[in-house]
Amino acid sequence: MAIFKKETTAPVVVPQHIAIIMDGNGRWAKKRGLPRTAGHKKGANNFRTIADYMNKIGVKYMTFYAFSTENWKRSQDEIETIMNLFQDYLVEALERFHETDMRLVFIGDRSVLKPELVALMDKIETISKDNKGAVVNLAINYGGRQEVVAACKKIAQQVKEGTVNPEDISEDMLSDNIFTAGQPDPDLIIRPSGEFRLSNFLIWQSAYSEFWFDNVLWPDFSVKDLDRAIQDYSKRQRRFGGVK
């Protein structure tokens, strides 16, 4: 059960959409004298735990930042470890997503990923598309600025083809052409590890998101930490530019 339900009598508002930047795997490993790859393995296991927990407490959408467009700058060994862990997770998810009833969606540029990985991604999206549980967005080779540029290119093509007039371009139209089209923007964005920036994550979608930062490294981020974030979120007044 959720810790916050036991320890507080104040109203608790579970966000409809929580996004998490899974940061600190390398530092977690370094503190223990382990290779960075060990941190990624621990972090991957924690992803499963946190995703399952959020599904149980009623979060309807969740987005995890797993691999950015900038992460290709890392060592080849580290990249291969991350991609192998991702593939292992997909194989496992093919079996267990019917149990959790969650729907898995991948956001990001798939064009540079291995064909066998893309095939697995396509397969699991198809298999889980009718599930009624939480929608899990997994950001792989994702960049927020690149996402906006890609959306603009789609709209520009529609203008070129004569199906859209330039004066009709709106915020809603751009939202309809990004990776998370049809989904609500994140209510709460969580970043562990002591960093205080978005790092090119959900640039368009985060306009009115609430933020929660903490020094705990992602592999150590627990359901209790998530409860703390939700408790804090519940105390905030979201005005969306207006006055309440």
Q: Whole-angstrom Cα distance, residue 149 to residue 85? A: 29
Helix (H, G, I), strand (E, B) or coil at 138: strand
Q: What's the helix, strand, coil split of the chain in %, to 5?
A: 50, 15, 40
Residue 164: CB atoms within 10 A of its CB come to 16
Q: For residue 2, what are the CA distances in angstroms to 64, 146, 221, 223, 231?
A: 20, 37, 15, 8, 11
Structure tokens, 4: 């916050």
Residues involved in catalysis: 23, 71
Structure tokens, 139: 């950001």
